[in-house]
Amino acid sequence: MKAKGLLIVLMMCAVSLTGCLGENDSKNENQDSLGDWDVYYAENVVSLPECNSDTLGRLYYVEESNEFQVCKSSGWMVIDISGADGVDGQNGADGQNGADGQDGADGQDGAQGPMGPQGPAGADGADSSNATCQLGPWASCVSANLTGMDLSGMDLTGIDLRNSKLDGADLSNTTFDYADFSGSTFIGAEMNHSSFNYAVMKGVVIRQSYANHADFDFVDFSGADFSNSAFIESTFYAADIIGGQLFGANLHNASMYHTDLSGSSLYGVNATGTYLAYTDFSDAWTGYTFFGNNTWTHCTCWDGIVYSEGCLNV
């Protein structure tokens, strides 16, 4: 069908050109009919013959360029036989999606970016000793951090709190008899009306704390630091405070019966009203210690001699 259509178009073009090619065509009224107009073939434009009087009006199909050329008086001319563009047809239905292709190979890692800013600090974790220590009589809580805790009124007889922190803790009215506090700290602690009888408190630091009306009978305080703490009306029966640091301590009306204070420093201590019986002050430093209204009975004074009437005149 396409070939027939093309041939009809060519014939129509040939007929339209026929009236233009012959000089005497309009005058030859006696000619009955036109003969068939032949279409010639050329392989390419180069093989077209010379356009002259012999080829004038001839129509050639040029295979290489798939076009028609006609020889006119002005030379060879391409004949445009294409019609106007047709209306676009409707889009066809979408085809089915093809199968996904295989994943490509991973690309190389990019260069490491700059370090970001430091994030905020996380919350403090739980102290490991507290996590495993259950406070109670004879419990083992070595190196516990009990800072600021309220232990008032508890029975913690025999508890092992060596090297622990009890700073700012409320220990009032608590029983610590036979407990071990060696190397622990009590800074700013409340220890009023508590019992520490027979406890081991070697090298403890009790600074700026209140231990009024407390019992420290038979306690080993060797090397302890009582600086600026209050022990008003507390008892230290047979307590060992050898080499202690009592700078600025308040021992008003305390009882120090058979207490060993040898080698201790009592600089600035308030010892007014303190009961001193069989107390050992040998090699103790008592500069600026405030005595007054004391009971002195058979005390060993700082010169190492026992005086039944006291040490104030030594």
Greater confidence (240 vs 61) lies with 240
Within-domain flag for 12: yes
Residue type, 235: T
Give pLDDT tens digits for 134-153: 999 999 999 999 999 999 99
In a domain, 183, yes or no: no
pLDDT band at 83 (very low <50, low <70, confident <90, very high): low
In terms of pLDDT, which residue wins out, 175 or 90? 175
Tell me, yes or no, whether 281 lies in a domain.
Answer: no
Structural domain boundaries enclosing 53: 2-19+37-79
Confidence label for 233 from pLDDT (cuts 50, 70 and 90): very high
With bands split at pLDDT 50, 70 and 90, how would you rate the model's confidence at 132?
low
Neighbouring CB atoms inside 10 A of 153's CB total 13
- Answer whether residue 221 is part of any domain: no
Q: Report pTM.
A: 0.59
pLDDT in the model for residue 46: 86
Q: Give domain status of residue 62, yes or no.
A: yes
Go through 247-285 and write b for each residue having 16 or more CB atoms within 10 A of its CB, e for each that does not.
bbbbbbbbbbbbbbbbbbbbbbbbbbbbbbeebbbbebe
Give the pLDDT score at 131: 46
Q: How confident is the model at residue 87 (pLDDT cuts 50, 70, 90)?
A: confident
* Torsion sign, CA atoms 9, 10, 11, 15: positive
CATH number at residue 43: 3.40.1620
**Residue at 71 is within a domain:** yes
pLDDT of 114 above 60? yes
As given in the structure block, the two tokens for residue 248 are: 């600025």
Residue 173 in any domain: the answer is no
- What's the structural domain count of the chain? 1
Contact (CB, 8 A) for 160 and 142: yes
Rounded CA gap, 34 and 23, in Å? Answer: 15
Residue 64 in domain: yes
